[in-house]
Amino acid sequence: MKKIITKSSQETVKCGQNLAKKLRGGEVIGLIGELGSGKTTFVQGLAKGLGIKDRILSPTFTLMRSYQGGKLNLCHVDLYRLDKPAELRNLGLEEIWLKHENVVVIEWAEKAGEYLPKTTTFIHFKYKNEKLREISLKR
Ligand SMILES: Nc1ncnc2c1ncn2[C@@H]1O[C@H](COP(=O)(O)OP(=O)(O)O)[C@@H](O)[C@H]1O
Ligand SMILES: [Mg+2]
């Protein structure tokens, strides 16, 4: 397991950018951590690292938002407001993650339970204090 402490949102963005460099397409990344722990900030870094120019907003009401124009397409899912498992299945994520030009990143991934593929990379976020976040990567 890899653990890092970031001291600012910029450092968390950088952390996302670093992971983006390693992506080849077809990956599913699950983000787990309380509100304000830096998940969306990390996704902004992923997008930046993929060369996506759009501003990344949390897709809270739509559950999912896709961004094109980068090295890979980024599908950003936020399950915070998910209340029925059917809503998750209706997103059709399986078709998205099967394509090698796509990367799927999911906030509140724990809410997806067994639905995510075995190959999902899980990243945990912890709020330490106003500026510090602990980011740990488990495979
Ligand atoms: N080290 C840090 N990493 C990420 N965000 C930080 C950090 N320090 C302060 N912040 C602030 O914490 C908030 C994190 O929000 P966000 O990324 O939306 O969290 P989440 O998606 O987990 O709810 C932002 O307002 C950001 O500016
Ligand atoms: Mg968020």
65: enclosing H helix or E strand: strand 64-67
Residue 7: Cβ within 10 Å count: 11
Protein fold of 2-138: Rossmann fold (3.40.50)
Whose alpha carbon is nearest atom 6 of ligand 1?
9
Ligand 2: centre distance to CA 98 (Å): 24
Residue 124 Cβ contacting ligand 1 at under 6 Å: no
Q: Name residue 16's beta-bridge partners.
A: none
Beta-carbon neighbours within 5 Å of ion ligand 2: 39-40, 58, 107
How confident is the model over 110-137, as pLDDT tens digits? 999 999 999 999 999 999 999 999 999 9
Indicate the domain borders of the chain: 2-138
Q: What pLDDT does residue 38 have?
A: 98
Q: Position of tokens 């907003």?
A: 57
Of the bound ligands, which one is closest to the alpha carbon of residue 45?
1
| Pocket of ligand 1 contains residue 60 by CB under 6 Å | no
Cβ distance 105 to 46 under 8 Å? yes
Say whether pLDDT at 139 is over 80: no
Mean pLDDT of 30-57: 97
Name the amino acid, one letter, at 13: V
Residue 100 parent element (H or E): none
In the chain, % of residues over pLDDT 70: 99
Q: What local confidence, expressed as pLDDT, does residue 58 receive? A: 82
More confident residue, 139 or 59: 59
Residue with tokens 């990379």: 121
Instruction: Choose which residue among 9, 35, 55 to substitute to test ligand 1 binding: the one with the highest number of ligand atoms within 8 A of its C-beta.
Output: 9
CB 106 within 8 A of CB 116: yes
- The H or E element that residue 6 is part of is strand 2-6
| pLDDT score, position 23 | 97
CA pair distance 28, 53, nearest whole angstrom = 21
